[in-house]
Amino acid sequence: MAKRSIALITITLFVGAMAGTLTGELLGLILPEGVVKDFFLTGVSFNLGGLMGNDSGVIVLNMIMFTIQFGLAIKMNFTSIIGLAGAYYFLRYLR
């Protein structure tokens, strides 16, 4: 039994989450307004700036000669979780 690298696991889970999010957004375009559409499109957002108390979502490191901005935002919704579960299934059972 060969061990999988952390990079392969991370990339597979990332692709699964992206596929789930894309599926949710496409369902949001097709579904009419209502509870079901809200269920698929309502998500939770995390960003680096929110951790620092910044509303713009960006961490700014201001030096005298230059400024560096760091930003990372993650939005998870129900279909993203389904995509993660599918990626986990892919990693677990399709060896």
Q: Give per-residue pLDDT as tens, 11-60.
A: 999 999 999 988 888 888 888 898 888 888 888 887 776 666 666 677 77
- What is the pTM assigned to this prediction? 0.70
How does the average pLDDT of the chain come out, rounded?
Answer: 83
Domain residue extents for the chain: 6-93
pLDDT given for residue 2 in this prediction: 65
Strands 43-47 and 73-77: antiparallel
Q: What is the pLDDT of residue 87?
A: 93
Q: Which residues of 60-82 are buried (b: 16+ CB within 10 A; e: fewer)?
A: eeeeeeeeeeeeeeeebbebbbb
Short-list 24, 31, 44, 33, CA closest to 86 = 24
For residue 62, name the pLDDT band (cuts at 50, 70, 90): confident
Is the separation of the CB atoms in 20 and 86 below 8 Å? Answer: yes
Under 8 Å between Cβ of 72 and 49: no
Beta-carbon contacts of 54 under 8 Å, excluding residues fewer than 6 positions away, are 60
With bands split at pLDDT 50, 70 and 90, how would you rate the model's confidence at 1? very low
